[in-house]
């Protein structure tokens, strides 16, 4: 057993990511993760197998977290088909497709930093349900959904799950690929099916991830997406007549691509900028990722947190995993040579080497655009 193929793929993925090609980097990271998973399955030592399998899952999860700016899904009518023909009856099954997860077990305590974001959410979403009399007495407006925007990997999905936890709601997590279809008219049917399914719950949260792929600006050349946006607007507006207590949440890395009608009052009227983690939040993530892991006492978490400026949460987690790769290699070598791994730890040298060879996945140009959007819009902080 050796890690050479994994290391080659991982290093190539890191170089590709640093060069700005996130599409290729995402594929390479996944290939590296699958290679490590194969090695784990062939390991004769159960402890080593568990370590490698966990690392492989982390690499694949990091790949999935990258915002590769890949082309967004678009509904297309198959060649040679009558565009008026509906999809086959079995093309979609709403009963299985739009099932909610149970109330998430993630709380705001699991979200590093973002105190301003949490405070706004408590005032606009949580406190109105806990202190309804106060909000009614002072006529405090709390209506509308919440659009969270910011760089990728900053915890927007975790915040959405924490909100569902706080209000004890069923959680519907929706991406563009869940609703868009190659069949004519099927996307609109999917949207209708989703909202019909949500109406069966007393309290529910719909979280639209990558919302820009579902609600792009109309008139941009796609009649298909214009119909999708119209259907979404219709369903959102119609939900005020439902007995279901619905919370609408959405997340995007590209808020400027979202149709302006979506962010009007009572739809997604609250716009929350979810920034990169500050130094305190990065330190928290570092400590959480390395909690219970044998590390050298010389490692200074404050220093490492300072040196990971510009990293998003996913980057910090992957940084920790990359540090673990060094000790993983040493442990495998030691076990193959019949030596004990009892004294093996993550060293300061491991951390320094990772700092030299690992960079943030966040693009500077995107940060500039996000700050400009923030300055030009009425954003709750």
Kindly report the CATH number assigned to the domain that includes residue 361. 1.10.8.60
Q: Are residues 27 and 152 in the same domain?
A: no
Asked which of 39, 70, 101 is the last residue of a domain, the reply is 70
Residue-number span of the structural domain to which 303 is assigned: 278-370+374-378
**Euclidean distance between CA atoms 330 and 316, whole angstroms:** 22
Q: Are residues 233 and 311 in the same domain?
A: no
Q: Are residues 111 and 196 in the same domain?
A: yes
C-alpha 245, offset from chain centre: 25
CA 108 to each of CA 38, 142, 156, 238, 249: distance values in angstroms, whole numbers, following the listed order: 36, 20, 12, 30, 16
Q: Are residues 111 and 252 in the same domain?
A: yes
> For residue 206, what are the β-bridge partners?
172, 248
Q: Are residues 192 and 232 in the same domain?
A: yes
Residue-level pLDDT at 209: 92
Asked which of 70, 99, 126 is the last residue of a domain, the reply is 70
Q: Are residues 135 and 209 in the same domain?
A: yes
**Phi-psi group of 150: left, alpha or beta (phi > 0 → left; psi -120 to 50 → alpha; rest → beta):** left
- 348 within some domain: yes
Q: Are residues 239 and 148 in the same domain?
A: yes
**Euclidean distance between CA atoms 158 and 249, whole angstroms:** 12
CA angle at 126 for the pair 140 and 96, rounded to the nearest 5°: 125
- 77 within some domain: no
Residue labelled with tokens 């900053």: 154
- 75 within some domain: no
Going from the first residue of the chain to its last (381 residues), give the mean pLDDT of each consecutive group of 10, the final group possibly shorter. 75 82 85 79 70 80 69 41 42 60 83 86 84 87 83 90 88 87 80 90 89 84 77 81 73 92 80 93 94 94 96 94 94 90 94 94 92 78 47
Q: Are residues 334 and 251 in the same domain?
A: no
Q: What's the pTM value of the predicted model, to 2 decimals?
A: 0.73
C-alpha 276, offset from chain centre: 13
**Euclidean distance between CA atoms 302 and 287, whole angstroms:** 10
Q: Are residues 254 and 282 in the same domain?
A: no
Asked which of 36, 70, 104 is the last residue of a domain, the reply is 70
Number of separate domains in the chain = 3
Q: Are residues 168 and 228 in the same domain?
A: yes
**Euclidean distance between CA atoms 215 and 176, whole angstroms:** 9
**Phi, psi (degrees; rounded to nearest 5) at 192:** -60, -40
Residue-level pLDDT at 221: 57
Residue-level pLDDT at 244: 54
Q: Are residues 53 and 109 in the same domain?
A: no
Q: For every residue of the chain, which 3-state class applies, written as one string?
A: CCCHHHHHHHHHHHHHHHCCCHHHHHHHHHHHHHHHHHHHHHCCCHHHHHHHHHHHHHHHHHHHHCCCCCCCCCCCCCCCCCCCCCCCHHHCCHHHHCCCECCCCCCHHHCCCCHHHHHHHHHHHHHHHHCHHHHHHCCCCCCCCEEEECCCCCCHHHHHHHHHHHCCCEEEEECHHHHCCCCCCHHHHHHHHHHHHHCCCCEEEEEECCHHHCCECCCCCCHHHHHHHHHHHHHHHHHHHCCCEEEEEEEECCHHHECHHHHCCCCCCEEEECCCCCHHHHHHHHHHHCCCCCECCCCCHHHHHHHCCCCCHHHHHHHHHHHHHHHHHHHHHHHHCCCCCCCCCECHHHHHHHHHHCCCCCCHHHHHHHHHHHHHCCCEC
């Amino acid at each position: 057993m050796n890690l050479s193929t994994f290391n080659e793929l991982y290093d190539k993925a890191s170089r590709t990511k640093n060069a700005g090609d996130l599409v290729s980097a995402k594929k390479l990271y996944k290939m590296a993760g699958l290679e490590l998973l194969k090695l784990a399955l062939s390991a004769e030592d159960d402890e080593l197998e568990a370590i490698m399998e966990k690392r492989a899952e982390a690499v694949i999860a990091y790949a999935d977290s990258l915002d590769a700016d890949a082309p967004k899904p678009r509904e297309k009518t198959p060649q040679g088909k009558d565009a008026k023909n509906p999809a086959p009856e079995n093309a979609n099954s709403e009963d299985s497709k739009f099932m909610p997860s149970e109330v998430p077990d993630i709380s705001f305590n699991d979200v590093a930093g973002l105190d301003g974001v949490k405070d706004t959410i408590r005032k606009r979403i949580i406190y109105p349900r806990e202190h309804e009399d106060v909000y009614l007495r002072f006529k405090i407006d709390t209506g509308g959904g919440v659009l969270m925007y910011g760089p990728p990997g900053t915890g927007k999905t975790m915040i959405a799950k924490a909100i569902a936890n706080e209000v004890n709601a069923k959680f519907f997590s929706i991406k563009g690929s869940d609703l868009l279809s190659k069949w004519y008219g099927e996307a609109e049917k999917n949207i209708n099916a989703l909202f019909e399914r949500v109406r069966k719950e007393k309290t529910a949260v719909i979280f639209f991830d990558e919302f820009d792929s579902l609600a792009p600006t109309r008139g941009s050349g796609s009649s298909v997406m214009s119909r999708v946006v119209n259907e979404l607007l219709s369903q959102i507006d119609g939900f005020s007549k439902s007995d279901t207590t619905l919370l609408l949440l959405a997340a995007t890395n590209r808020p400027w691509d979202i149709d302006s009608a979506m962010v009007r009052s009572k739809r997604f009227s609250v716009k929350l900028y979810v920034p990169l983690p500050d130094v305190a939040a990065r330190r928290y993530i570092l400590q959480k990722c390395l909690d219970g892991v044998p590390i050298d006492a010389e490692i200074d978490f404050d220093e490492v947190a300072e040196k990971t400026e510009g990293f998003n949460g996913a980057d910090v987690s992957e940084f920790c995993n990359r540090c673990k790769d060094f000790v993983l290699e040493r442990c495998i070598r030691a076990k193959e040579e019949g030596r004990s791994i009892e004294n093996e730890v993550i060293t300061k040298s491991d951390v320094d080497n990772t700092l030299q060879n690992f960079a943030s996945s966040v693009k500077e140009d995107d940060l500039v655009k996000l700050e400009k959007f923030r300055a030009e819009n009425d954003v709750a902080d």
